[in-house]
Structure 1
């Protein structure tokens, strides 16, 4: 199975980002037929959304850090990515 065939849901952030960079390089090369370019664009958009969702989840987790009275991090609160913020 190649990077192009790997389901996005099975990729970690770094793999998805590498796959997105590969899509962008191929599209920028200008050597891809139109139909394949459209498929690549769709895959790239799905990869971008997956990366953005993972970044948003990481940001939300970071924001869950609980600060103590002295302003220093005192712990964390669990973050449930499935519930609306």
Structure 2
């Protein structure tokens, strides 16, 4: 998964919601969009960039970082069940 592309896409989503006057609504909107429209692999990869000290020079916008941190539990895909 190309983390640079994921961060770029997340930043574009953040740019859209950043114009909202209600910051909490914007944060919720970013998280909701990512949860609803991004597949689990994409969400896992994007969330993993929060734990990396350097994302290869690609900077995540502040509003996206804030939304991901606030909604991390709800954005983290459930573990795949291996039980048969």
The verdict on a shared fold, with TM-score over 0.5 as the criterion, is no
Compare relative contact order (CA 8 Å, sep 6+) and give the higher one, 1 or 2: 2
TM-score (norm 1): 0.38
TM-score (norm 2): 0.38
Structure with bigger strand share is: 1
